Amino acid sequence: MKIVSVVGARPEFVQAALLSEAIHRQHTEILVHTGQHYDYLMNDVFFRDLESRAPDHNLEVASGSHAKQTGEIMMRLEVLLVRKKPDWVIVRGDTNSTLGATLAAAKLNLPVAHIEAGMRSFNRAMPEEINRVVADRLAALLFCATATAVRNLAQEGIVGGVNYVGDVMFDAVLHFSPIAAARSRVLEQLQLVREKYLLVTVHRSANTDHRENLSSIVAALNQLNEPVVFPVHPRTRAALSELQSKRARTFD
């Protein structure tokens, strides 16, 4: 069987590292990177550290508005799908890559398998929620990480092709944790004591695109007594810079 497997963002790289290995044992997988994440620390470093195979194709869509990015993915992936003629297309999660790939495949009448189906925030203001709902409506196979996800789909009338398989990301944690523990020197580099620090990531648009929300998060982090490790998303870095500039202008 020939499978086109689509990735585009950090969580998808982690998940695909294990799944691709399993698929390759019995099938032909064409790994397609949409290029949604292209920064070295959000892209290349994952393929390097996870020792996963490089994508067979990179669509290089880069950043842009939701409409532009999704549209570019659809147009560029469609050309590849027509040429490769896969039996299945695998999408995962809730990114613009998920949405664009699902739409491109569905319009070519190619069956779609959605990994991490049924996840819901019940907040349609989140772009990710729209991506999840559309992918689940169009997918022929829906692989759910939790029983709650199965129930969410059933409540929406989706029962065919639904499979409760568990969380592939948890599998990745179990597989890569010993490797990370043996290789990583980040605690020493940052002068941290194990289990005596906090890790935070802020990248959802509801937090980064609203100055009041981001300001409140920063204020809360500054009140903590524990050391905080904050790997900053490029979008968050830009928002923080703008927030800092705004404050500087206020005090001028």
Give the residue numbers annotated as catalytic, written as ranges.
203
CB contact set of 38 (below 8 Å; sequence gap of 6+): 60, 62, 63
- DSSP string of the chain, one letter each residue: -EEEEEE-SHHHHHHHHHHHHHHHTTSEEEEEE--S--SGGGTHHHHHHTTPPPPSEE----S--HHHHHHHHHHHHHHHHHHH--SEEEEETTSHHHHHHHHHHHHTT--EEEETTT---S-TTSHHHHHHHHHHHH-SEEEESSHHHHHHHHHTT--TTEEE---HHHHHHHHHHHHHHHH--HHHHTT--TTSSEE-----HHHHS-HHHHHHHHHHHHT-SS-EE----HHHHHHHHHHHHHHHHHH-
Q: What is the rounded distance in angstroms from the CA atom of residue 63 to the CA atom of residue 36?
A: 6
